């Protein structure tokens, strides 16, 4: 099987058959460097499905944390960029959703949502475009993921059930990078 030895079986599967939740984009797996242990995650370069361009304005639902802040790692007065996250191609303007905590990943699919507050009003796109890498992690064995997927009511596949998702966005013009990390199981 392709990638085994560098990726775990689960990550190699996702490299070949990315999660459905990324389907609005064209995603290309990044081969890991040779290392002593196989990686349980796979990173993808993200491109526009319509035009192939690889820079996006990233949307979120910003909220200023009250005092005391109920948000882990976010001080009162700081801004939390809540999901869901859509991305707009900076070339052709196509828009798609890259992550929705209510419906994506293990908890999103099997448990009614990941434990994150989602926004509904006030969606805000970044002013500048970013190059985006999205990574999904699997800590559950492929046999169990397959069993969960086949016994679920909705039509899902094993690799939809990632237990962590991260979005790493770097600004080619040199601005502040953005990173979102979501535990989904
Ligand atoms: Zn495009």
pLDDT of residue 103: 96
- Rounded to 5, what percent of the chain is helix, strand, coil? 15, 35, 50
| Ligand 1 ion: nearby residues, β-carbon < 5 Å | 48, 50-51, 53, 89, 91-92, 94
Compute the distance from residue 121 Cα to the ligand 1 centre, in Å.
25
**Tokens 């200023």, residue?**
64
Specify the higher pLDDT residue, 3 or 88: 88
What is the Å distance from ligand 1's center to 142 Cα?
Answer: 34
| Structure token digits, residue 121 | 């009003």
Residue 51 CA, ligand 1 centroid: distance in Å: 4
Cross-strand partners of 5:
none
> Rounded to whole angstroms, how far apart are CA atoms 185 and 178?
23
Q: Is the pTM of this model over 0.75?
A: yes
From ligand 1's centre to the CA of 41, what distance in Å? 27
CA of 56 relative to ligand 1 center, distance in Å: 9
Q: How many residues does the chain have?
A: 185
- Residues of the chain with pLDDT > 70, as a percent, come to 97
Residue 5: which pLDDT band, with cuts at 50, 70 and 90?
Answer: low
Report CA(6)–ligand 1 centroid distance (Å): 31
Segment 12-67, tens digit of pLDDT: 999 999 999 999 999 999 998 877 889 999 999 999 999 999 999 999 999 999 99
């Amino acid at each position: 099987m392709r990638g085994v030895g560098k990726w775990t079986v689960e990550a190699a599967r996702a490299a070949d058959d990315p999660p459905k939740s990324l389907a609005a984009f064209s995603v290309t797996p990044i081969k890991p460097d040779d290392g002593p242990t196989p990686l349980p995650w796979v990173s993808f370069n993200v491109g526009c499905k319509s035009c192939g361009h690889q820079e996006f304005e990233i949307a979120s639902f910003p909220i200023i944390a009250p005092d005391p802040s109920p948000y882990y790692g976010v001080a009162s007065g700081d801004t939390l960029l809540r999901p869901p996250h859509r991305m707009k191609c900076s070339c052709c303007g196509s828009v798609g959703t890259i992550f929705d905590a209510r419906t994506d990943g293990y908890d999103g699919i099997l448990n009614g949502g990941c434990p994150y507050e989602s926004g509904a009003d006030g969606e805000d796109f970044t002013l500048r475009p970013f190059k985006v890498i999205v990574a999904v992690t699997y800590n559950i064995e492929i046999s169990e993921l397959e069993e969960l997927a086949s016994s679920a009511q909705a039509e899902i596949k094993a690799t939809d059930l990632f237990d962590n998702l991260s979005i790493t966005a770097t600004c080619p013009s040199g601005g502040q990078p953005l990173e979102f990390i979501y535990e989904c199981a």
